Amino acid sequence: MNDSDTVTTYPTHLASVFRLLRSGRHLCVEDKPEYRDLQVHYDQYESLFLALGYKLNRHHQNFFYFSGGNTLATKGLQSITLFMLILFQHLEDNKFADPDRAWEQTLTNRLFAIDELPHFNTAQRRSQMFSLDISEDNVRDKVLRTMTRLGIIHLVGTKQFQFRAAVYRFVELCLDYATADSLSEANDSELEEPIAAEPTGQNESSQLPEMPSDDEQWEDVEGDYE
């Protein structure tokens, strides 16, 4: 068999993995079988996506995501970051009431009651949330819904949610935000928008591999991002 007869073998779930990652989703262990396919064929995925202009990241907390492209500029993502900042500040302020005093290590093991969120219990926090048009009445639709689509949380019934491993990316982003004077002055190189990631522009001159065609796997993820 000569080179022209060589058939390129792609990972089984390449189409759905690419679609989900490009839409901004963070793929965690719950996202089977895409997560498993990424684990097994990580090097191949990394090379393929790099040739297409995307940077695949494998976080030490065991999840995958794309970075690159637009900075964190949309109001929806600013709302998520502010939501996280207030929640983490609340957990830090109350850590001495927690037996292990290590809230950042137990985020994925605890349930959060939506009705008991601390985001509206002081005038300052209410003002911060209202500045991004977030209220007690719409926090579920405007923040938690988007966080679910990004793979940061999953809802438990209608009144609770639980963080997935991807929350630790936002722990890191919030630590960066905490050192900035304001949301608009955050470090652009770190606060990359995880929604609809655009190609990084590298390897533009290289020959791009042909993506497989699979209509079922290329279906949009649930709903549109805000």
Q: Is the pLDDT of residue 198 over 70?
A: no
pLDDT tens string 153-175: 999 998 999 999 999 988 887 77
Q: What whole-number percentage of the chain has pLDDT above 70?
A: 69
Domains along the chain? 1-70+192-226 (1.10.10.2250), 75-185 (1.10.10)
Mean pLDDT computed over 58-76: 76
Asked whether residue 189 carries a pLDDT value surpassing 80, the answer given is: no
pLDDT at residue 202 greater than cutoff 70: no
For residue 132, what pLDDT is reported?
Answer: 92
Question: Does residue 64 carry a pLDDT above 90?
Answer: yes
Region of poorest pLDDT, from 42-51, 63-72, 154-163: 63-72
More confident residue, 3 or 122: 122
80 half-sphere exposure, CB direction, 13 A CA radius: 26
Q: Considering the chain, what is the average pLDDT of its residues?
A: 79
pLDDT of residue 81: 86
Residue 17 and residue 56 in contact, taking contact as beta carbons nearer than 8 Å:
no
Q: What's residue 178's pLDDT?
A: 63
Look at residue 39 and tell me whether its pLDDT is greater than 80.
yes
pLDDT at res. 220: 40
Q: What is the pLDDT of residue 58?
A: 95
pLDDT in tens, 101-129: 677 788 899 999 999 999 999 999 999 99
Q: What does the chain look like in DSSP terms, one character per residue?
A: --GGGPPPPPPTTHHHHHHHHHTTPPB-TTSTTHHHHHHHTHHHHHHHHHHTT-EEEEETTTEEEEE-SSBS-SHHHHHHHHHHHHHHHHHHHTGGGSTT--GGGSGGGSEEEGGG-GGGSSHHHHHHHHTTT--TTTHIIIIIHHHHHTTSEEEETTTEEEE-TTHHHHHHHHHHHHTSSSGGGS-TTT-B--SSPPP--TTTTSPPPPPP--TTTTPPPSS---
pLDDT of 197 reads 61
